[in-house]
Amino acid sequence: MLATRLCTKSLMVGRGLASSSYFQSRKRRALMYMPGDDLRKMTKAASLDLDLAVLDCEDAVAENRKSAARIAICDALNSLNFGRTERGVRTNSVSSGLLQDDLKSVLLNKTPPDIVMIPKLDSPNEAKFLNSVISECSSKPFPVIFQTESAMGLINLQEIIITLIGSSHVIPVAIVFGADDFVSDIRGSRDIDAVVYARQKVVTLARAYNLQPIDRVYIEYKDLDGLKFESEKGFGFGFAGKQCIHPSQIPIVQAAFSPSKEQLEYSRELIRSFAENQVAGKGAFSFRGKMIDRPTLLQAQNIVDMFEN
């Protein structure tokens, strides 16, 4: 594991990127989609206290509206002030045949997005094609989020990650789990138990390569209690954030993927106690009725890092 992380870090530094500076500098707790052909909704996104707004060329746009969406998205990027919100654009997939037009439109725009999202990335060859298209539109590596949405994409996930990390013009930042397309592909149901394996694999591989894993959409957008429960469970799984489809979901999701005041206080005190016990020559020690050693310290440090970053 350590060797994998060092290799990832080396590749990124070699491409002029501080080891995970982009990853560390952005919280992506709530990621919300806006139809790219609807300027009113994109304007609304600019006013929300949202980590990442994704202006969508793909599922939220009808087939005969793709060109109109590209134009509207470029206008929105040029004219709207999104404040602290990261500006993302979701393109169509490699297999759609529309990826090149989408990327050329937004990356060559007067005001490019901060990041692009690529749906349905299913193979290393598609990852290579993505790199070649971005190289035509950008003189330097560009941050990319990609989606795993099929059985084949999940099987190939590690190879896709490695291919992207080694690419000349792609900075992989996060992996989004597209649960609805995934369960359709495996002929399953949307029940949470049907996607446990997939969610665990996405989290494990994302964290192994220092990428942010983003959890599935909670489609019952009026059920805020259910959203809170699933978001907190996702945080416990190791996800960094969750996809949203309605503004009412944003504060709940962003709170669920942030450490609570109590968690932060506990973690800081544990870290202080660990340091004191190290000076006293103790490896493992008791803290608030629990036996503490280095792995527990690392978990506490993760909580503090989430708050500070």
**Which residues does the annotation mark as catalytic?**
293
What does the alpha-carbon distance between residue 158 and residue 95 come to, in Å, rounded to a whole number? 20
User: What's the rounded Cα separation, in Å, for the pair 42 and 51?
Assistant: 14
The pair phi, psi for residue 116, each rounded to 5°, is -120, 150
Q: How many CB atoms lie within 10 A of CB 63?
A: 8
Tell which residue, 76, 70, 71, 180, has the closest CA to residue 119: 180
Q: Are 248 and 44 in contact (CB under 8 A)?
A: no
Q: d(Cα 102, Cα 155) in Å, to the nearest integer?
A: 27
Instruction: In whole angstroms, give the CA distance from residue 91 to residue 86.
Output: 16
Answer for the pair 49, 250: CB distance below 8 angstroms, yes or no: yes
